[in-house]
Amino acid sequence: MSSEDVMSKGPVKAFMLANEAMVRGALEADVKLYAAYPGSPTTEILDTFVDVGKPMDVKVEVSSNE
């Protein structure tokens, strides 16, 4: 999987992990903010949003604790 697969505008065939597919779905739903905290079960989603967030105009925030 590459960041281009997650960020692509049109339909594409790609193998993605579940967390990457969640980010793709969020981008298709026009999410503009993603907030998380380190150590949560969704850390991989945070990592993917950090990779693709800026070019897709998504603000990513990380809390220092729960």
More confident residue, 42 or 7: 42
pTM across the whole model: 0.75
Distance CA 62, CA 21 (A): 20
Residue numbers of the domain that contains 51: 3-62
* String of DSSP letters for 1-66: --HHHHH-SS-------HHHHHHHHHHHTT--EEEE-TTSTTHHHHHHHHHHTTTTT-EEEE-S--
Is residue 26 within 8 Å of 34, Cβ to Cβ? Answer: yes
The structural domain count of the chain equals 1
**pLDDT for residue 33:** 92
More confident residue, 64 or 36: 36
More confident residue, 14 or 48: 48
pLDDT in tens, 26-60: 888 889 999 888 777 778 888 888 888 777 788 88
- What is the average per-residue pLDDT within 8-19? 77
